Amino acid sequence: MKTKHYLTLASAALGMAAATTAQAEDGYDAPAGWPSPVVEYPMTTVRVDRLEYASPDKGGDALVWDFQAWYGGDFNRLYVEGEGQNVQGDGEDAEFESLNLLYSRLIADFWELQGGIGYQGGIATNDHPERYFGVISLESEYDLRLTQRLYLQPRTEIAVAASEVKEFGVGEGLNSVRVGMRLGYEVTRRFAPYVGAYWEKEYGDTADLSRAGGNNTEDTGVVAGVRLIF
């Protein structure tokens, strides 16, 4: 009896599916006022992707941060992103390498196209050089899971500038490439300490400006830090 009852329900379900398919093929629309079967709810998230202490081979140690806060849904979002550092022992104040306000659109799995305005300059003082600029970026991020909690995260940064800005050591064209890898452990989904290493190199006019200022154009280093999500 149980088997017969199951087959009856299955047949009814198949009949309803066929009727729904036929209605769809006939151009049937849901009645006005019916809710969408998929509703996108906007959310707010703050993510500190990097809060780390970096120790390069040739330069000074630095406290580095990289955060983003966004509001929106799965496809459209408004971002505030900030990245900067405070080099230890150089007598200079901490600075934003970039502070961006961006509109973001999901264009493929794990890929977002972003555009907006950006700021570069000091944080606490007014005597630091400042500039504002347009921003277009294409970002990708993907963790390589080793276990449920342990992961590897490759990281690649390519910096390109449309014009030269000597006071910031930025040349026209390709500025630099930085490649790194981090090994992290998620104590929770919102708290993950990590260690890593990186290699970076400057190119073209940017490298020439660095040499003129007595700075290195290529370096490697190690990092230790934590990733946070609120």
Using one digit for the tens of pLDDT, what is the confidence trace for 161-196?
877 888 777 888 888 999 999 999 999 999 999 999
43-56 vs 191-202, strand pairing mode: unpaired
Higher pLDDT, 220 or 36: 220
Q: Cβ(120)–Cβ(138) under 8 Å?
A: no
- Residues 65, 94 contacting (CB under 8 angstroms): no
**What are the start-end ranges of the H helices in the chain?**
2-25, 204-212
Instruction: List, for residues 37-52, the tens digit of each pLDDT value.
Output: 667 788 999 999 999 9
Helix (H), strand (E) at residue 102:
strand 95-108
103-156 pLDDT per residue, tens:
999 988 878 888 899 888 877 656 667 888 777 676 666 789 999 999 999 988
The SS3 assignment for 23 reads: helix
- DSSP, collapsed to helix, strand or coil, labels residue 173 as strand
pLDDT digits (tens, 9 = 90+) for 187-206: 999 999 999 999 999 999 89
Q: Which of 104, 49, 52, 44 is nearest to 70 (CA)?
A: 44
Q: Residue 15 pLDDT more than 90?
A: no
